[in-house]
Amino acid sequence: MTELTDERRSAQRFSLHLPLALKFTNGGVHAEDTFTRDVSSTGISFYVGVRLNEGMLVELTLSLPPGDLLMSPIRVQYKGKVVRVNALDEGNFGVAAAIEAYEILPPESFNTTS
């Protein structure tokens, strides 16, 4: 079945299934490990097993593995805001977050357990 929606994205998106660490505050600090659905220069969409609310601030750490273009892995930490939440099957949610700031983490950040 094909789903038709109005295209609201202002930047090209790339379908990437990459590890993503999510942190958010909702009556305490919560952390979830998940993966991306797609990534663009202005936002990230991902899947998660907890309900987030639109407008919620999130911190996302994306791990880019080495490959044809990267000689070594890179971790990027994003700060963003949830702009859309879609309920999926079995208590999972698709979330879109707008990127407000980012920082490329130093290589030694791979050796920490945060």
Q: Please count the residues of the chain.
A: 114
Q: Whole-model pTM? A: 0.80
Cα–Cα distance for residue pair 6/81, rounded to 1 Å? 21
Q: Say if residue 76's pLDDT is above 50.
A: yes
CB 19 within 8 A of CB 63: yes
- Mean pLDDT across 43-62: 95
Q: Say if residue 2's pLDDT is above 60.
A: no
Q: Say if residue 78's pLDDT is above 90.
A: yes
Q: What is the pLDDT of residues 15-36, one digit of tens each?
A: 989 999 999 998 889 999 999 9
Q: Tokens representing 114? A: 């945060």
Four-CA torsion 1, 34, 102, 112, nearest 10 degrees: -160
Res 60: pLDDT: 97
Res 77: pLDDT: 96
- Mean pLDDT across 86-108: 92
Please, what CATH class does the domain formed by 13-106 belong to?
Answer: mainly beta
